[in-house]
Chains A and B, each alone.
Chain A
């Protein structure tokens, strides 16, 4: 059995010893380096551009401006292509722009023999701007006289749904209706490896792009679209990547790298962003403002949730309205036995573009819902955990939005387990009626999420298995390892079904769109769930072929045999070894009359989407005069179905919780509302928590078995980030009596709230 164990991850040794090669580790002779010329104004139009001085600098090869790029408007969001035109992403940008829409927008690009020369030359390109009024906030962007950032106006899209009954009626049946306004910040992924890509041509037709991307096959399509060339001319290679968290589920640099190599006669051109550029000119998380109402009866029945959310996508749409759309839909799985009304609107503003980021809209939606749930529990005088247990999803509930039955739901058990682990009931008594400077509090929050994007997007995955001469197996996937450990989990799945040892599965970690099976990549916590059936099918097919060859070799009926521990054995008496797999393999390859290379190549479309669940429990203390929060204990409990690799699962949870603590207490990209200027585009001023700021992170699992899943498992990549922020907000409320309905809850923000509440 390989699933459920924790073997050493496939890339562990290569990564910790520095052997693993990332995009920047590949250097080509004659490689040129490119640097963007960026707008220093938040909104405006280029009046004049003078590159003479830059071009005169020794080592500068070329400068291209918005006048030189293809007249093609394209979309960058890393979604699968959609056959429905209405569902295609918003195309709103060209490779370079004359109309600059945020501080950092790209008007020109310099190509030089080395990065420093490119940088120096970029500074020497003289650009004059006519400045336009800037709108940064929701209110400014939606004002009726707001400057139009794109021709169609500032609203991209809005939608709403009301399911499970009628909201007005539900609220009228409630004993208590609470209401709150909530705000979530612009935060950034801060993956260790910045965006980087290079492109070259090794013939006159094909363009090779090597990139740190989560989505090589989607990237290929978007490069084709952006340059107006057929997709087959583009080849995207993805080596090891140093994190993405959704920021590389967007096609940011690749079309430009491809454009530049075409312009430079196929010479390799590299485009590598520094951290400052990465913070401003890649993607961020959408900031939101929302109003949430919750109605409940005194005996603890949740009657209705009403959430109205406005989402700011920044200068270009990128993933745009898909974010609040997904966030709203995925949360319906949490409380399915009441009315849910949800309305969302997405608008442009003169701030950095927001795109995909871990959990894709859910942290914003759940921050509002779970904060309001806390307020409702307090209003009816019920314990916060009991109130949730009373109302969360149970197996066999029907999701009122999707009309699908929920076939595994361990959220009740998660809440029970977390309550015990943190000592909820005892601490509750202990923390009642505190005074003094330092006060302790408890908080809880839940979440639900999906295991992919179906039915909104196609869920297609590919797996190719090749039996090697030595009896080991090579595995090729279109799904990408981006640090989450997918190569390892996939190898475990293949080993499990094929009956060989984990060590005998060699995973080809690099995706190369010329040779890798088709898969849309790493996002939406989809890969383990939607790739698993492809792996399972491929492994069963290869197993059938192997046993077929054994039959040719031995004359024994294939039905009586199976593969276990890398050997062909008698199905009923596995201790009886028929042949070693290596013997079968070498015969299949080299016997002059029979056999051939034994392979399986499977493409699979998943048509289900299992909800996953979990919750966060927090015990913290607030130093009231210092306006500082210290987390003493934080626990995430997850129902992600069967856990494929317990150690990696724990790692995922820790990582997500750490990022969540960042959003809850530290991080925010600060943008001047008057100028659009980004104040803190560096890691000194953008306060990602350091090692000493992150508390000890605890986690536990409730293992349900999801019947729609190939190995009983559900999503786990993104979910750990969703519920910590509202749990922290609820614990601060518990400690101080002050509801801080905005993240991040930094000392500055706490000062404002504590002052208003009169406790300092």
Chain B
């Protein structure tokens, strides 16, 4: 039993946006895999719900005529990871969301919720960051597009305002074509866990060298982050162990891990350095490179 006080089943995107804008205590419920946990804990902030589960247009995953990959905000992790468009063009998104929880959670949980709840550990965040996905958002004022870069504003905070509803993610061709990408979730167990550190890398080769590296982490700073310093260091470097070591060294300046009861800063930094090498290497190999 959950202490839900008000539940509005939205009939359209407009209806959902209106309901959310009208009542500042309202919260979106999509898959419910976070909201219901808050309610189970008796949390006061999640008792007034706008339910978007009947908005099937938000479930769609497809490629549009311009080659953009579109992922509906309400598409479940399972739908994403099993979808051909995802597997073919942005497989690292599928691999990332395949690490969320267990099968039941993946059947319910959505990438929209995973990004919009602002979790520092969100499994889809690293992949979204290396593919620089856009977020197409509906508000009472109309539609707007924001980049994932900068979307996270703090722990549990994103740049959504009351009345905003994410409709879908959009990955532009320039952000996935020619990249090899990889994600590693470092957790205390191999399923049903949140990341101690999450790391994704996307590599575009320039001949035998790294043309472009995009390196992203979760749980390594107050928000999911990209690593500008390490990416700069990688540019134009050959595919060698030395390059990986340089990237691992440079990444220390990009991240700001902290000590919590879950893990110490020193341990997190060690994992961050280790993953920088392993994940970058795998991404480069997937782009066709050899070490």
Where the two chains meet, the residues of A that have a C-beta atom closer than 8 Å to any C-beta of B are 114-116, 119-120, 123, 625-627, 666, 670, 672, 679-680, 683-685, 687, 689-693, 746-748, 751-752, 755, 760
Contact = CB atoms under 8 A, between A and B. Distances in A.
B115 to A, nearest CB: 20
Interface string B24-43: 00000000000000000010
Given A748-B267, A751-B267, A120 B189 contact: no
A666 B192 contact: no
B6 to A, nearest CB: 16
Nearest to A752: B267
Given A123-B42, A670-B261, A687 B189 contact: yes
Nearest to A122: B42
A751 B189 contact: no
30 contacts: A114-B1, A116-B1, A116-B2, A116-B3, A119-B3, A119-B42, A120-B3, A625-B270, A626-B271, A626-B274, A627-B267, A627-B270, A627-B271, A670-B261, A687-B189, A690-B190, A690-B192, A692-B189, A693-B189, A693-B190, A693-B191, A747-B196, A747-B267, A748-B263, A748-B264, A751-B266, A751-B267, A751-B270, A752-B267, A755-B270
Contacts of B263: 748
Contacts of A687: 188-189, 193
Given A115-B1, A119-B42, A626-B274, A691 B191 contact: yes
Nearest to A754: B270
A196 B266 CA distance: 42
A747 B3 contact: no
B191 A692 contact: yes
Instruction: Place the interface of chain B in its size category.
Output: 20 to 34
Contacts, number: 59
Nearest to B196: A747
Contacts of B266: 751, 755
A680 B274 CA distance: 27
B188 A746 contact: yes
A114 B1 CA distance: 10
Contacts of A683: 192
Contacts of A684: 192-194
B261 A672 contact: yes
A626 B271 CA distance: 7
Contacts of B261: 670, 672, 679-680
For B188, B191, B261, the residue with the greatest tally of chain A CB atoms inside 10 Å of its CB is B188
Contacts of B264: 748
A690 B192 CA distance: 7
Nearest to B102: A690
A690 B42 CA distance: 27
B3 A666 contact: no
Contacts of A691: 191
Contacts of B42: 119-120, 123
Given A115-B1, A627-B270, A683-B192, 16 more contacts: A120-B3, A123-B42, A626-B274, A666-B188, A666-B189, A672-B261, A679-B261, A680-B261, A687-B188, A687-B193, A690-B189, A691-B191, A692-B191, A693-B189, A693-B190, A747-B196
B267 A692 contact: no
For B189, B194, B196, B266, the residue with the greatest tally of chain A CB atoms inside 10 Å of its CB is B189
A153 B169 CA distance: 62
Q: Which 4 pairs show the lowest CB-CB distances between chains A and B?
A: A116-B1, A690-B191, A692-B190, A679-B261
Contacts of B190: 690, 692-693
Interface string B165-209: 000000000000000000000101111111010000000000000
Contact of B270 (A115, A680, A760): A760
Given A116-B1, A684-B194, A747 B274 contact: no
A120 B191 CA distance: 32
A662 to B, nearest CB: 10
Nearest to A691: B191
Contacts of B274: 625-626
B278 to A, nearest CB: 8
A692 B191 CA distance: 7
B19 to A, nearest CB: 25
B188 A747 contact: yes
Nearest to B44: A123
A751 B266 CA distance: 9
Contacts of A670: 261
B123 to A, nearest CB: 14
Contacts of B196: 747
A752 B270 CA distance: 11
Contacts of B270: 625, 627, 751, 755, 760
